[in-house]
Structure formats: structure tokens, C-alpha cells
Chains A and B, each alone.
Chain A
């Protein structure tokens, strides 16, 4: 199966190169048959990449430790479930996974376009997709082959890092990859539009689903990463501004900006050049993020170490940026539009402000992330900027972004009068003001938290007002019942209300982040059996201790009774685990989540007489982050459900 895997990768590369040649030939000779053959070449490359992926999966399942990659990330005791996820645990496997998903996405584009006639635009789209696929297949064949053998067969493998033995491993990395890879498709359409001078919003309309879908994948990937970090102690809570976390967050910010301005191009036919810039940046940042993770240039809790791939990724990013901006400069005259934003008091201008803030956030995060590289280049010393830098710079920007999220729906497209603004702002602003007074009265004085809660209330108020006003209009026009009008409004204008749901989710997240950051309680103590530890309103009683074997680990579990106001309300079990092949024990967090707060317990130490050291935290409203982010994803999904008439790639 090793030879089969290696040769499948080579076959995939050959088919990809052949497809590129056929597309170029088709364009040069104006020959449709060559283009058709090129598309089939890409489908064949997909088949070959699938075979290579199956081969690697098979080698993991059969414990073939002759393969260096399998020996590095698996062992005999590893549960079957994690043997499959070990596929993308390391750099080589994740490269193959990337190539495989990109080939599948490319095939999906070909399939969706099967009824569309091939004009001069489509071969360029496929050519860009093939070139990107070819880059990854080249790395797999020539630089980073997951089928490399050790030259001997060890008795057992090194096993999977215990921190990766978490359900998060199943979804978090693949979904991030889906997000990164998905943006290749709008990028390919943008490049094709620049080459052919197709200046309309066609490429944006055709790739809207891919844009939003990739954004959704990236969002879910980031959220799941946050949840995973939260339950795996030592990963810095749900967000630590770690370089690898930032690597996914930066393209997310830029793609969010792109999704907003793409709407303006669709509706108004303006901002064509700016949208090209944003998609070029989004795709480049996806590849640059991969460079950060795989080059080993930055210290991170979950990088792949120095892999020797950094230079290749940097070269690819340079080609994308230089090539993309050269094409944009060449076609600038065609894309420049005479139309402009008519008034500062218009939705278009709030979208522009939102773009400025999103890009400022992306730039600040990028600067903080690569600062160690820059400082090393200038001073010879790696200077790392920590969480305080990111928090100080980004928090005010985020709050402005939340404010704009609330303002934007209140302002109409094109032009708004002061009188209308006053009327539309009155209720949401009054509700936010009232909420602020109530919060101050209840003792909330932390300035950022107070501001965040107030702005979140403003956003919520805006969205509720928007929906209720539209609902009333519809009821008045159609005479429908509230329930019927409400549902029909939501379904028929799902793009609009999908966006509002995303913004409502964002407001919920802001509340969760602000509360859990500003009002977190922490305590620590060592307990003998029967002793208690108090934090806030909770008292934790150490009740029992047990040791047992499960799968590939020995578990040391402490049972804790949870008391509130003298009454036992729940029990938790905090664990330490010793995994086979792992050098150090790991800590499993015990969490009691309610809408009001999370009681978060870890057990960093166990003494000789089973006395335990506990670290306990109360994180107010933390679950709101997960609810809010889920709502954002649901809103995104609602917004891309296609109507029957619309075509997409």
C-alpha cells in the first residue's frame, strides 16, 4: 500500500499538470475539446488523490509503522477513531488532506458547472485551481511525502499527542482546512475575471455560496478550536492570541470584510477593485497562515515545528500577491467604476467603515503575530508580543465594530435623512442606555465590560426593531397572522435576516467574552478527602478518588460534590490521565455549564495520600460565547440557502 500511495500522488500530479497543459492549449487554440479534456484531467487527479488518501488511511488502520508518518502519530493502543484523525495530526498528512479536499472542491465546481457552456473565462478558473492543486501535489511528491518509510519497522508507534485525543480533533482541523481551501474558488474566479476583463459582478454572484460557505467553515473551525482549547488545560482558555489561532483569525477578518463589500458590488456595481484586493488578500492570508503553522518560525502551542516547507509557502504567497496585483494593475482601468457612495449617511458608508475596522483588526493581529520574525530580522532577537498587546489594541477596535453592527441596519441604502436616523436610533439607543443604567445600578463598573454590554444591547435592540418593523409592514400588506408573516419574512428574505442572525450571535458572543473576561473568579487549594474549597457562591467538597483503565490510558479521577447555599446541587469529576507512550500526564477539565456561569475545575496535582490540588474558576456567561457563535453559523447557513432560480458554481 506504500508504493500504491506514492504512485497515486504522482499520478495525481501528472493528471493535474496534464490538465493545466490542456487548458492552456484549449485557450491558445480556442479548442473546446482540449478544455473538456482538461476538466476530465482534474477529475482524474481527484480520483488519484482520493486513492492516495485511502492508502494513507489504510496504513493507519493497519498499524503500518514502517511508514514514518504513521509511526510518528499513531500506536497500537490508539482507539480506531483517533487512528483516522491522526491522518491530519501532522504536517505531511494535513498536506495530503488539503490536496484531497481541494481536488474534491474543484470537482464539485466542475460538476455544478456541467450545464454551463464553456466560454473563455472558465478555462482560466480551472487553470488557477489546477495550479493551486499542483503546488500541493508537488510538495507531497517532492518535499513532504507522507508515505516516506523509516527503513525498519518499529514494534509500536509514538502515539498521538494526548491533547489531540479529543473529539475536537475530528472536526476542528478539517473545518479550518475546508475554510482555507474554499476560498481558492472565489480567488480563481477573481483571477479569471481580471484576465478576461469581465468587470461585472458575475464572479461575485457565482461564488457567493463558496464565499459564505468558506467563511462558515472557517468560523466553525475557529469556534471548535476555542472550545477545544477551553477543555484542554494549558492551551490558554478559549482564546490565547496564539500564532496558529491568529493564522485562522486573520483571513476570517478579511473574508468578513469581503462578504460585506461584495454585497455592495452586487447591489450597486461599485467597489470592484476593492473586492479584488480583498479576495486576493483573503486567499494569500489563508496560504500565509499555513506558512506560519508549517514553517516553524513562530513558537505556538500547536505548530508543526520546523518542517522545511516555509520557503515554498512563502514563494507561493509571493506569486499569488505579485501575480494578482499585477493583473489588477493591468485591468485597473476596466474595473474602476464611476459610481460612488452618495452619502456619508448611508449603509454603503457604514460598510466601508466596517471594512476599515476589520482590516485594522487584521493588520494589528498580523503585526502582533509576525512581530517576533520582524524583530529578529531587525535586532537579531525574537521579541514576542503577548496577550496584553492584542487585548489593548483589538478590544477598542472590536467595540467600534460592534457599534457599527448596530448602526448599519438602521441606515438605509444610498441616503438617509437626519430625521429618519433620529427616529430609527431612538428605541435601540434608549434600550442600550437603560441597560447601561441598570448594569451600573447592579454594580457593573468595569468600563470595557459595561461598554460591551451596552453595545450588545444596542445591536440586539436594532435587530429586534428591524424585524418587528418589517413584520408589521408585512402583516399590514398581506393580512397574515404574526407567526405566518414572521416565518415567511424570515424565509423569503433569508439573506437579509440570515445576516441579522449572524449579528445577533455576535452580540451574544460579545456579552460572553466581556463577562467571562472581566468578572472571572479564580481559586486554588489542596484538599484531603472530605475537605472543601469555596469560590463565589460555590463550595466544592472532595468526596472520592478512584483509578481505572480506559482505552489507552490510566485515569485518576476525583469526585467533587458541588454545593450552593448549603444544598448539594451537582457533582463533577476532575481527571488526570496517563496515556501509553505519553511522557507527561494530562489534565481533563470538569465543567458545570449553565446559562449564568461555568464552574471550571482542573486537578493539576495528586499527592501520595490521594490529596488533590484543585484550580477552580467561575466564568460568568461563558456559554453565551458558544450559543452566540452557533447562532452566527446558523445565520450564515440561512443566508446561503439558494432560491430555485439562482445559479451558483
Chain B
């Protein structure tokens, strides 16, 4: 009896497992193209620098860095973020062409 019950359960589970194989074939999401990958790297670069600006703003407010250091770092991160955004725009433009 135990064996019969388990056999039925196993058959149901096997059918459940293999059901997707009977559906029409579909491919996995393809790897991003080199351009897409570059775009993602730039996006991450932009996000990191924007996050860095938020960090140093908070740290200035809590007295962890001096106004001079804050200004210097803020300028640096803003430029880096702007560079990343500009590069993203160029990539998009290349793509559109």
C-alpha cells in the first residue's frame, strides 16, 4: 500500500516535472551584446558615483569630512557620473545609427 501511494505520488511529480518539455520550445534569454554589456557597466559606474555623492553629503552633514574635502570629492564624483552618462549617450547614438 505504502509503495503504491508513493508510486502514484512519484508519477504525478514526474508528470509535473516534465510537463514544460512538452510545450513549444523557447530559448533562454540571450547574453547581452557587447554594447549592452558596456551600457550596463556605464550604468553601474553612474550609480556608484551618484551613491558616492549621497554618501559624502551625509558624511558632511554628520561632520565626518571637511567642507573642502567634500567639495573636492563631490566635484570628482559628479564629473565621473557625468562622464558615464555621456558615454551612455554616445553608445545609444551609435546604436541608433
Contacts and interface: CB of A to CB of B under 8 A. Distances in A.
Interface of A: 1, 3-4, 7-8, 11, 15, 18-19, 26-27, 30-37, 40-41, 43-44, 47-48, 51, 117-120, 123, 196, 200-201, 267-269, 410-417, 419-420, 423-424, 466, 469-470, 473
Given A11-B10, A119-B28, A267-B55, A424 B3 contact: no
Contacts of B17: 15, 18-19, 37, 40-41, 43-44
A415 B44 CA distance: 22
B65 A423 contact: no
The 10 closest A-B pairs by CB, nearest first: A412-B64, A412-B59, A44-B13, A36-B20, A4-B2, A32-B26, A119-B29, A40-B17, A473-B61, A37-B20
Most buried by B among A36, A44, A416, A470: A44
B25 to A, nearest CB: 6
Contact of A413 (B40, B45, B56): B56
Main secondary structure of the interface of A (DSSP, over half): helix
B34 interface: no
B79 interface: no
6 contacts: A7-B3, A31-B27, A33-B26, A43-B17, A120-B30, A470-B61
Contacts of B10: 11, 48
A420 B63 contact: yes
Contacts of B56: 412-414
A415 B40 contact: no
A504 B15 CA distance: 53
A494 B33 CA distance: 37
Contacts of A424: 63-64
Contact of B65 (A119, A269, A420): A420
Contacts of A200: 40-41, 44
A256 B37 CA distance: 32
Interface in B7-35: 9-10, 13-14, 16-21, 23, 25-31
Contacts of B91: none
A42 B26 CA distance: 20
A269 B52 contact: no
Most buried by B among A4, A31, A415: A415
Contacts of A470: 61-62
Nearest to A25: B21
Nearest to A343: B69
A413 B59 contact: yes
Nearest to B7: A7
B66 to A, nearest CB: 5
Contacts of B93: none
Given A1-B2, A11-B6, A415-B73, A420 B61 contact: no
Nearest to B59: A412
A117 B29 contact: yes
Most buried by B among A11, A33, A34, A466: A33
A121 to B, nearest CB: 9
